[in-house]
Amino acid sequence: MKVFIFTLGTRGDVQPYVALARGLMAAGHEAVVCTDDRFRDFIAGQGVAVAEFNGLMGDLTESAETKEVMEQGGSAGSMLRRLPHLMRLSRRLQESVMCDGWRAAAASGADLIVYHPKAFGGPHFAEKLGIPAVMAVPLPMLVTTGEFPVIGFPRLPLGRGYNRFTYGVLERIMRMISGKHIKRWRREHGMPRAPRRWLETATGRAIPVLHAYSGHVGPAPGDWPESAVATGYWFLDAPGDWQPDAALAAFLAAGAPPVYVGFGSMSGQRAKARAELVLAALARAGVRGILAAGWGGLEAGAVPATVHLVKEVPHDWLFPRVAAVVHHGGAGTTAAALRAGRPNVICPFIADQPFWGWCVAEHGLGPAPIPQRKLTMEKLAVAIRATLDDGAMRARANAMGEKLRAEHGIAAAIDCLGRAARGLPLRTGPSNVGPSC
């Protein structure tokens, strides 16, 4: 197979798809990744081919308006205030998805397209090229189920009908956002009207959906169709010979395992104040700490000797060497921390982050999530101490780590892609497929 992988978003929306591309290549297939140009060097450094795209996604995610929305946890007020500007940026991005994305897909010579929901042109490009398309998404948000509502909707005691209704609402919203661009592109390319349903092909068949997470952590509903599976996580591990710099190695060796704190690319506009809060919470909890200060992450000036600043350190190397992981709740960071067998303290900003915080707390793998807008030094210190002092929580986290280390999500995904390429159902058994389809 030659697979065209189309994804957009932050680093967490790109890295799992690069891992899939590497897995495909190791299995004897070809793969090319099309995404925002900000990630060109990162992808090429992984030995994966990169398709040409532009940097408009960076304009949207790095704008002051987007950061204000993140600071407010996606509140309705902040969204309404910044909606006109965000819509202008989003409109430019959507036009680029259809125009630049199509040029890259058409030039790829692919046999199959794998696409992130934000890269919504994927199934339309596949239809035009006469090849299959598979949606890949790191959370259970788009395939209708009666077991729980769409992420972001309230969990109300209204039964399965309400839960299923929320997926229809989301589909209508997505059509409102991107429908005009899809309609125009299809008309320009001599194609009939778009399929009636978001996850259907022009012939009425269900578009296969791979969920790149473990059913041990997130739900894999029993009423999902055979076209939907949870494969297990898609990890992109560091090379086996990766070594830390001397300062980090010395810090780790100098005392008890520290607590890692990092909020990924979700810095918002208060990074410095947030760093000061974290430093105070670590001191109150009486623990050593590692603060991630990567792009968009925490910033801090002088730090005490009990705290070490890092820029980029592979999570799969670092997390087994820390006592607990404090983070924003991104799917990738959550997965890496749980695979390492470490308790999580999740302080979500927006989007799916509260959902993963809920999953972690529901499984007893960390305390209740603390939304960023409610984060205080006292709350964070208490949560950190809970991860260190609760022996049962630590045992559950260790057991979860063993389960995740036994999974092979990329191998399962590749097997599923082979089935999709042959027009077969992704599965005939449970929706959580485990190590193979």
pLDDT at position 11, please? 85
Q: Which amino acid is at 275?
A: A
**φ, ψ for residue 410 (rounded to 5)?**
-70, -40
Give the CA-trace dihedral at 126, 127, 128, 129, to 10 degrees: 50
Tally Cβ neighbours within 10 Å of residue 206: 16
pLDDT at position 269, please? 58
- CA-to-CA separations, 318 to 282, 308, 369, in angstroms, rounded: 18, 13, 22
| DSSP type of residue 32 | E
Report which secondary-structure segment, H or E, holds 432: none
Distance CA(67)–CA(315), nearest Å, equals 25
Partnered with residue 134 across adjacent β-strands are: 114
**φ, ψ for residue 34 (rounded to 5)?**
-110, 120
| DSSP E strands, 190-347 | 209-211, 228-230, 259-262, 289-292, 307-310, 324-327, 344-346
pLDDT at position 74, please? 47
Distance CA(434)–CA(437), nearest Å, equals 7
pLDDT at position 432, please? 67
pLDDT at position 107, please? 95
How far from each other are the two terminal CA atoms of the chain, in whole angstroms? 18
Q: Which amino acid is at 110?
A: A
Q: Per-residue DSSP letters for 148-168?
A: SPPTTS---SSHHHHHHHHHH
Nearest to 272 by CA among 307, 304, 297, 309: 297
Residue pair 185/121 in contact by the 8 Å Cβ criterion: yes
Q: Per-residue DSSP letters for 1-24?
A: -EEEEE--SSHHHHHHHHHHHHHH
Residue pair 34/113 in contact by the 8 Å Cβ criterion: no
| Assigned token pair, 126 | 């596949």
Tally Cβ neighbours within 10 Å of residue 41: 10
Q: In 3-state terms, what secondary structure has residue 193? A: coil
| Assigned token pair, 60 | 């949207």
The pLDDT tens digits along the chain (437 residues) read 999 999 998 888 999 999 999 999 999 999 999 998 889 999 999 999 999 776 555 544 554 444 444 454 444 444 445 445 555 556 667 788 898 899 999 999 999 999 999 999 999 999 999 999 999 999 999 999 999 999 888 889 999 999 999 999 999 888 888 888 899 999 999 999 999 888 999 888 999 999 999 999 999 999 999 999 999 999 999 988 899 999 999 999 999 999 999 987 655 557 778 888 999 999 999 999 999 875 344 555 578 899 999 988 999 999 999 999 999 999 999 999 999 999 999 999 888 899 999 999 999 999 999 998 899 999 999 999 999 999 999 999 999 999 999 999 999 999 999 999 999 999 777 776 543 33
Length of the chain: 437
Domains, in order of start, for the chain:
2-233+407-421 (3.40.50.2000), 246-405 (3.40.50.2000)
Please report how the helices 331-339 and 11-26 are oriented relative to each other, as an axis angle in degrees rounded to 10: 60
Distance CA(32)–CA(21), nearest Å, equals 7
CA angle 408, 410, 334 (to 5 degrees): 75
Residue in the block written with tokens 């964070």: 380
Q: In 3-state terms, what secondary structure has residue 244? A: coil
Burial class (CB in 10 A: 0-12, 13-18, 19+), 255: exposed
- CA-to-CA separations, 366 to 206, 281, 347, 405, in angstroms, rounded: 37, 17, 11, 19
Report which secondary-structure segment, H or E, holds 256: none
pLDDT at position 29, please? 98
